[in-house]
Structure formats: C-alpha cells, structure tokens
Amino acid sequence: MWQWVNLTSQAKSYRPAIDVARLLAAALIVCFHTPRAPDKEYTIAGLAFFVMLTFCLQAISESRSGSYSLSKRAARLLVPWLVWSAVYAMLKVVRHQPLGMDVRHDPSRLLVGPQIHLWYLPFAFLGGIAAHALLLFSQRLADMARLFLLCALAIALGWIEPALGGKFPAPFDQWMYSAPLIPLGVAIGLAQRLSAPRVAGHFIAVLAVSILLAWHCNIPSYLIAVPALFLCILPRSVEIKPLRWLANLSLGIYLVHPATFLVFYKYTPHAPWYVFAALGIVASTLVTAAICAVPRLGALAFGNSSRPANKPPTASAHTPPTALHASPSP
C-alpha cells in the first residue's frame, strides 16, 4: 500500500518509481541531444525532472538528518566533473578540435569545461549550497509561509531571463532554465514530512507555479516534470536490486553519451534519429556498467553512484547527487 513517508519515523524509504523515472529521464536527455530528434521542448523534461529530484532529495536528507557535507558533495560532483573534463579534452585533442576553453575571452567556460553538457555538475554543486542556505534560512517559518517563500522565489527566478530579454551564453542559459527548479524541488522534498492534506496543498501550489512559468516563459517541460516527481516520491518497502543498479547508471549515461555519439556520427551519420538515440542509450549504459565494474574507477568517474548493487541501501539511499546518482542537460 502506498503511504507518504514520515521522516521522523524509521519507515523504509526506497522508491522504485524514482529509479524507473531516472532511467526514463536519462533516455529523454539522450533523445534531446540526438540530431534531428523532434519535440525537444518536451524531451528536455528529463533535465527538469533530474534538477528537481536532486534538490528534492537534498531537502528530504537535510530534513531527516539536519546535516550537510560540502566535501562529500564536492566528491560526488566536482571530482567527476574534473575527470570527464579531462576525458573530453583528450577526445578533442585526438580529433584536432579546439578545446573551447579560452577563459581569457570567456571566463564562464570555467563553469562548463570542454563539453557543454558538463555544465550540470558545477551547477548542481553550487545549487546545493544555495538550497542548503535556503533550508537554513526558512527552517523557523511555518509550513505555509515556507511554501509561499519557495514558490515566490521560483517565480522570481523564472522571470529573470524573459525580463532581461533573451538567451545568455553557456552555461548561464542552462542555469536560467534550471534555477526555478531548485526551490520547486525543495518544496516537494519538504512535503514528505507533512500530512496528506498538506501534501496535496504543496502539490497544488507547485503545480500552479509550473503552469504560470510554462505559460509566461514558454517552458512546457515544467508541466511534465512536476507531476512526474510528485508521483515518484510515493515509497515502497521492497527494494528491487536490479532496478536500483540500473538507475545508478543514470549519471554515467548522461556523462558518457556524447562520447558514444562521436562514434555513431562517424559510422551511422544518416541513421534515423530514434536509431541514433537507441544506440546512444545502449552504448552509454554498457560503457557505464563496465566502468562501475571496477568500484574505485566508478567512484572516481561517477561519484558515489558506483555503490555495488548488493550493498543494502540505507534510509537515505536516494540522496544528492544527486538525482542522476539519484543527475544531467543540454
């Protein structure tokens, strides 16, 4: 029977729906990056889901334990960012391509690296610091006041880009898309310790904000990600170990798939987009699984997401990073 988790209890908190959604969201992101793929305004919902899930899990974790470790978060996010920045830099050198790291003329490249999709990792690290500060600042507020603050902040962040009139250079364009999802994810995470009627109130409020942002800022992907996350946070008491193992490959699929695309660009340049996407998903999954087969290598490449499948999960099994351990992007 489905029940909402009371974080003050010792209730088991494994959520198989989250693991299924992580895999589907990773597949959507690969489709978003696939050449000639249609409906990218909807497939980017995979990114929106991961961003919200990352900060939802952080809110759940901090509400339960009251602790936040900057060093652990750096190990989970910044170490893989440095590793994969080196990998993609070497690939560009081998292919005689410019690194795209002229920080003298574009200092913002320090927040990305040699491959654009790596922007997510430093964003998740800095966003985690912001979410932690937000949780500390608002912890003395009543539940409804806290919800109002988070929703108001999401609306304000969502209106910055349209108000300033247009796109920003990478990675700030991606950050502007993702920033409103930080308070929305925190709001969903905080709902887990409330009674069912108040959870419903949180859902209505967060959904209303996503509708407003989708309408005003033309971001339909928010309307897919918000209901999906609320449905996924319903817990189950039975762990499905193969599903958990597969879901823990999500970050690897995100980080590896551009490299696999380089191979398919060369040998199947005219393949239909769905064949190209399917090849990217399968190849990225196999490469990630091979790397994670060596635990120390998996820990270095993907943070803590390389935990062996037979290791029993703790009550905080779904913890940041992140959503793709428990995350990805354009």
- The whole-number average pLDDT for the span 266-280 is 91
pTM here? 0.85
102 pLDDT band (50/70/90 cuts)? low
The pLDDT of residue 82 is above 80? yes
307 pLDDT band (50/70/90 cuts)? very low
- The whole-number average pLDDT for the span 60-77 is 88
Helices (H), 139-195: 143-158, 160-164, 172-178, 181-190
The pLDDT of residue 1 is above 60? no
Exposure b/e, 259-296, CB count within 10 A at least 16 = b: bbbeebeeeeeebeeeebbbbbbebbbebbbebbeeee
- CA nearest neighbour of 141 among 187, 184, 210: 187
Predicted local confidence at residue 199, as pLDDT: 83
Tell me how crowded residue 211 is: count the other CB atoms within 10 A of its CB: 13
For the record, the structure tokens of 2 come out as: 């489905």
Contact 62, 132 (CB under 8 A): yes
Predicted local confidence at residue 310, as pLDDT: 32
The percentage of residues in the chain with a pLDDT greater than 90, rounded to a whole number, is 54
Predicted local confidence at residue 268, as pLDDT: 86
- In the Cβ-directed half-sphere of 323, how many Cα atoms lie within 13 Å? 39
Predicted local confidence at residue 171, as pLDDT: 87
The pLDDT of residue 231 is above 50? yes
Predicted local confidence at residue 165, as pLDDT: 74
Give backbone dihedrals phi and psi of 10, rounded to 5 degrees, phi first. -100, 25
- CA nearest neighbour of 113 among 84, 143, 134, 145: 84
- CA nearest neighbour of 53 among 87, 86, 26, 83: 26
Distance CA 287, CA 80 (A): 15
If one compares 288 and 267, the residue with the highest pLDDT of the two is: 288
For the record, the structure tokens of 251 come out as: 């970050």
The pLDDT of residue 305 is above 50? no
The percentage of residues in the chain with a pLDDT greater than 70, rounded to a whole number, is 84
The pLDDT of residue 327 is above 60? no
Predicted local confidence at residue 3, as pLDDT: 37
114 pLDDT band (50/70/90 cuts)? confident
The pLDDT of residue 272 is above 80? yes
